[in-house]
Amino acid sequence: MTADALLAQAVRGWLADFVDNTYLNAQEASADGYESTRWDQLRDLGWHAVTIPDHLGGGDATLTEACVVAREIGRAAYASPLLATMRATVVASGGAGYFDALVARIAAGAPATLVCPPDRTVTATPVAGGFRLAGEPVVVEWAEVATEVVLLVPAGGDWVVGVLGRDALDGRVSAVPSVDNERIARVALDGVVVREAVTVPAGAARLALAGANLLRASLMVGGCADVLERTARYATERVQFGRPIGGFQAVRHHLARMVIATDAARLMVDDALERLAEPAVAEVALFTAARSYVELVLTSAQVHGAVGTTTEHVLHHHFRRAKAMRSRTGTRALRLRELHDALVVHGEASQW
Amino acid sequence: MKAEHLEFLGELRAYLDALDPDLVAATRAEHIADAMQPRANGRRFLARLGADGWLGVSWPAEYGGQGRGPVEQWLFAEELCDRRLPNGLLTLNAIGPTLMAVGTDEQKAEFLPRIIAGELEFAIGYSEPDAGSDLAALRTRARPDGDAYVIDGQKIWTTGATVATHLWLAARTGEQADRHRGISMFILPMDAPGIEITPILTQGGEQTNTVFLDNVRVPAGARIGAENEGWRVLTTALNYERMFYHNEPRWELRQLRDWAASAGLLDDPVVAETMGELAVDVEICRLFAQRGAQMLADGQVPYAEASANKVWWSELRQRICDTGLDLIGEAGTVAGPTGPAHGHLEHGLRSSPVWRFGGGTNEIQLDIIAQRGLGMPR
């Protein structure tokens, strides 16, 4: 067994000990949306800090290992600040050592989040002592819980990586209900001045974001895999007209389409992880994983029928998470225009 | 991609770039018009590659190949596909490897050196008027007669029969009720007395054929594999066939891009959104093919994976032509090279039905994915 497979097994085992639909329902209904004691366990296991270098207190591993963790989290439909924390870490780590103190605090267990509106609706302008932000309020994952808030927004031709102190956000964060079991808040950033920040070239920002997005894509690949497994099992167990419904060609073809969509997402993410210097591949992977996850839950709901729509079935978490995670990647049309520009106009990825 | 694979690709590209441009252009034009049957220029092109040692990339050295792996073989086909040039199709990629696996020493000696030299072209004789997806219902009969067989029957959709040197034929040697247990495989020279070919012209301009077999006499040595055990030979060949769905969709998307650029619409939001998603699907298509090659390299056989590749490839190609013409609008009614995208998209759309049903219908492929891949009941 490879090291990655062992890691996946360990994370899956840890989650299996306490995560089921009843637990997910209870957490979603709870005040905080997650158990801080479980966060402490995650921290002790080091799975929140996989990519952080050894000297800053992390696991000193690669993005591939972090994506293994994200995939298992996604498979379990488990909501926590983990994804947001890992995404913030990847972006802060792109600051060439400037944010080492923050990264070390994350390694020590501080939950973090990333402010990077996918449709670039917030921009930064240089002012004395920092950068002033402008734009409409944005939705940020786990903004209430996060003690560290990392920012990645465009500033003219360059981008700004910055840290937003909690005091700068005072009175600007208001919790809003989420479509899925994750926690979100609306954050008003207009007029905020970011004092702790560096500019990075657009290419570096794109690479950092690609890394962060591969974590989200991996989480969605995990979601696809779980939905597929559950649906295949159900199709062999559910009997109608005297036979398992998986024996009907119409149902088999639904399942085959789910396999194809899952494979597409997984292959694309795996390829992107092997080609980290090519952000276009990660962008394709993010789009593919999101599209597949939504396709999977819609088809799975059809195969399950009414039973899949009840809050007693974990599918209701996947169903909502799929669409919410897709939406967190921004407007579909804008993503497609960017992909067109990268792949078709500029010949990135493998269109050569 | 590993460094050794990139190096191989570099060598291959350098070789192809240095070929006689007139031969390449003529071969490409022929291949675009009808990709399923290499004719005069395609044969010259393949013979050139054969003479230069570039056919049989993954064939073992003992059969004259380069002895490289399935990943290199995939890259080879991918590159030729990208240049819209023939890569030896089923003769080199399916018949050759099947003969290596199940042929006698005499058969290997007779056919393999000529296949790898690019001298032979096989047409595939599986389908019959009443045996399509249900191939085990085929009725063409091969009767033993002394040390020979006498074959009677009819094959249909035998693409390439008029340009082929040989026919790869499935015929019944057992009882009709034995279905797949009563079939044997044969190789017939196309000029054998008693073979008569009637062309069928398809809407895409590609020619296919009906092949009538009337008292065709072949020696017993023309049988491939044991008598009545041809099904295994046939499925071996079919599995090789399904591994060769490459990135034609990328080429078709490029035609659409050329149209958009010439129409000044490359930045149009609707064009961009449509082409952006097609480009994503082209990336995925490539990975499905690469996975099949990698599995072979790892000593595994892709079944459900090959089926997924085929379904994705065929639907995507058709979708690029179809939605491409939607973007083009009324001008898309102009046929031929003077039309938009050089006519490739309207031609592609006319050709596209066979992509979805040929080589095993997509419905059969989806069943393979659900049954072999996921364990769904029959």
Locate the chain A residue with the closest alpha carbon to B254.
Answer: A344
Q: pLDDT value at position B11?
A: 96
Residues 6 or more apart in contact with residue B148 via CB below 8 angstroms: B217, B218, B219, B220
The residues of B annotated with a catalytic role in the active site are 241
pLDDT value at B1 more than 80: no
Distance CA B262, CA B246 (A): 27
Q: pLDDT value at position B273?
A: 98
The answer to whether A109 and A150 have CB atoms below 8 angstroms apart is: no
Both tokens of A236, joined, read 């062999």
Q: pLDDT value at position B244?
A: 66
Distance CA B59, CA B73 (A): 9
Q: Is B18 on the interface with A (CB under 8 A)?
A: no
At residue A62, the 3 state secondary structure works out as coil
Q: pLDDT tens, B194-208?
A: 999 999 999 999 999
Q: What own/partner pairs with CB < 8 Å and gap ≥ 24 does B50-55 have? A: B50/B116, B50/B117, B50/B118, B50/B119, B51/B117, B51/B118, B52/B15, B54/B12, B54/B15, B55/B88, B55/B92, B55/B115, B55/B116, B55/B117, B55/B118
**Facing B308 at nearest CB: one of A232, A259, A281:** A259
Interchain CB distance below 8 Å, A249 and B277: no
Interchain CB distance below 8 Å, B366 and A338: no
Question: A267 contacts in B (CB within 8 Å)?
Answer: 284, 287-288, 291
Interchain CB distance below 8 Å, A259 and B291: no
Both tokens of A116, joined, read 């990077």
**Facing A287 at nearest CB: one of B274, B280, B304:** B280
Q: pLDDT tens, B335-367?
A: 999 999 999 999 999 999 999 998 889 999 999
Query: Number of residue pairs across A and B with CB atoms under 8 Å?
Result: 125
Interchain CB distance below 8 Å, A246 and B377: yes
Locate the chain A residue with the closest alpha carbon to B311.
Answer: A260
Q: pLDDT value at position B360?
A: 87
Interchain CB distance below 8 Å, A263 and B305: yes
Residues of chain A with pLDDT under 50: none
Q: Mind telling me how many Å the CA of B295 is from chain A's nearest CA? A: 13
Q: Mind telling me how many Å the CA of A17 is from chain B's nearest CA? A: 27
Would you list which residues of chain A are within 8 Å, Cβ to Cβ, of chain B? Answer: 232, 235-236, 243-244, 246-247, 249, 251-253, 255-257, 259-260, 263-264, 267-268, 271, 281, 284, 287-288, 333, 335-341, 343-345, 349-352
CA separation, residue B235 to residues A126, A279, B136, B204, B232 (Å): 67, 41, 11, 28, 5
Provide φ and ψ at A223, rounded to 5°: -60, -45
Q: pLDDT tens, B71-92?
A: 999 899 889 998 999 987 789 8
Q: Please give the mean pLDDT across all residues of chain B.
A: 94
Question: B275 contacts in A (CB within 8 Å)?
Answer: 340, 344
Q: pLDDT value at position B349?
A: 97
Q: Is B264 on the interface with A (CB under 8 A)?
A: no
Q: pLDDT tens, B288-332?
A: 999 998 998 898 888 899 999 999 999 999 999 999 999 999 999
Q: pLDDT value at position A351?
A: 67
Interchain CB distance below 8 Å, A344 and B291: no
Q: pLDDT value at position A292?
A: 98
Q: pLDDT tens, B12-53?
A: 999 999 999 999 999 999 999 888 887 889 999 999 999 999
| Strand-pair partners of A149 | A113, A164
Q: pLDDT value at position B152?
A: 98
pTM of the predicted structure, to 2 decimals: 0.95
Distance CA B293, CA B70 (A): 5
In the structure, what pLDDT confidence band is assigned to residue B243 with cuts at 50, 70 and 90? Answer: low
At residue A330, the 3 state secondary structure works out as coil
Among B281, B299, B300, B301, smallest CA distance to B236 is for B301
Interchain CB distance below 8 Å, A344 and B257: yes
Q: Is B312 on the interface with A (CB under 8 A)?
A: yes
Interface test with B, best of A294, A339, A344 (most B CBs within 10 A): A344
Q: Is B275 on the interface with A (CB under 8 A)?
A: yes
